[in-house]
Amino acid sequence: MDFLFPFHPRTVHFPIALTLVGVAFIILSAILARRGGDNDDGAVRWLQYGRVTLALGWLAVLVAIATGLIDQSRAPDDAAVVSTLNLHITTGIALVVTLGLALYWPLRDRQVFTRHRWAYVGLLVLVAALVMIESWLGGQLVYHLGVGVGAP
């Protein structure tokens, strides 16, 4: 069964790609809606694409967190590794909560894309920033601290 580990690196690319693409689609929708009006078919289509992609990204984040927690047990017990790993976990939890809020807000307030469009875009920018911070911390763990990198 050791050939499966580390499992986390095999799952992290999906939430990164899906979340960032979903954010880009929704921001594109906001820009198109501003230019063409709130009932612009192109804006509505990009919004739907973005919402589906964000939902898939959120599910992929949950999978990446689960596999990360499993792989965490194999990390070295070094102070720098533990510190960076704790930041990585904290940022991951913040990402799940923030991304969940970005998915929940339009369900709670159907007018979010007209009344609170730019506040929602700000939330999505925060989601994208958390994805990038989370990715950078994961890269630090692998490429700087050598976590999950070892001789077969």
| Domain locations along the chain | 2-144
CA contacts within 13 A on the Cβ side of 60: 20
Given a cut of 50, whether residue 152 has pLDDT beyond it is: no
Is the model's pLDDT at 1 over the cut of 60? Answer: no
Q: What would the mean pLDDT of 66-89 be, rounded to a whole number?
A: 90
> What's the mean per-residue pLDDT of the chain?
88
Give me the percent of the chain exceeding a pLDDT of 70: 91
In order of 14, 29, 44, 102, 117, the CA distances from 39 in angstroms are 31, 11, 7, 21, 14
Short-list 62, 133, 147, CA closest to 91: 133
